[in-house]
Amino acid sequence: MRRKDENKKAAITNAIVRLINEIGFANISMSKIAKATGISPATLYVYYENKEDMFRKVYMDVKKQMTEKCSKDIASEESVEKAVRKLCENLFHYMQEYTEEFLFIEQACNSPMATDEMIEELEQYNRDTVKIFQRGIEEGILKQTSPVLLISFCYYPIQQIFKEWRKEKSMLPKVDFEMVFQMCWDGIRR
């Protein structure tokens, strides 16, 4: 059995993300991925069993990376407001720095291939984020509702505004993301 090379795996992942963003999952094939990375199709099978396994593993890896980047530098003793602001800022910076990966995640999470098992596994990565919002609820700082709803109320507006803002002919040519963060905070605080 051939050994996996982490650099080669990263190149394959980048090619998969780029190709799925360009042509969609339905039009992607192992041979197109191999051609884009300059490797043989047989080499792909060292990393993935088939196209569905490839999708699952790449989606999980990229989503895990996003979750880790969003949670970066958040201390458990920080105020809830400061932690939520950092989460929002980290999400924005992730989308700027890893735009291809973000767009892939957007497409992948809406795919019927994103199974309940995958979603449950991804929830394990979000535990620390959920704890921040749960603490805010318990301390009476945040609205008394589901932590996941509060997280969504922060993340989704930022994601949608970012997608519109980056378009060439955007209706939002200038966006003050500090104001966006404040609006998200105002929407969830009690």
- 112 versus 152: the higher-pLDDT residue is 152
Alpha helices in 48-176, H assignment, sequence order: 51-70, 80-97, 99-109, 116-125, 127-138, 147-165
Most confident of 43-52, 87-96, 100-109: 87-96
Averaged pLDDT for residues 4-20: 86
Over 80: is that where the pLDDT of 58 sits? yes
| Residue-wise pLDDT tens digits, 99-136 | 999 999 988 887 777 777 877 887 888 888 999 999 99
- pLDDT at res. 2: 59
How far is residue 95 CA from its own chain's centroid?
8
| CA dihedral (132, 135, 141, 142) positive or negative | positive
Average pLDDT in the chain: 89
Q: What is the pLDDT of residue 119?
A: 78
User: What's the CA gap between 117 and 166, in Å, rounded?
Assistant: 32
The yes-or-no verdict on residue 173 having pLDDT over 80 is no
Q: How far apart are CA 110 and CA 159, in angstroms?
A: 14
Distance CA 182, CA 28 (A): 40
Residue with tokens 């197109």: 32
- What global pTM score does this model have? 0.86
Residue 146 has pLDDT above 80, yes or no: yes
Cβ 39 vs Cβ 8: under 8 Å: yes
Is the per-residue pLDDT at 89 higher than 80? yes
Contact present, 90 and 68 (Cβ < 8 Å): no
Evaluate if residue 77 carries a pLDDT over 90: no
Tokens of 82: 């400061």
Question: What is the reported pLDDT for 181?
Answer: 93
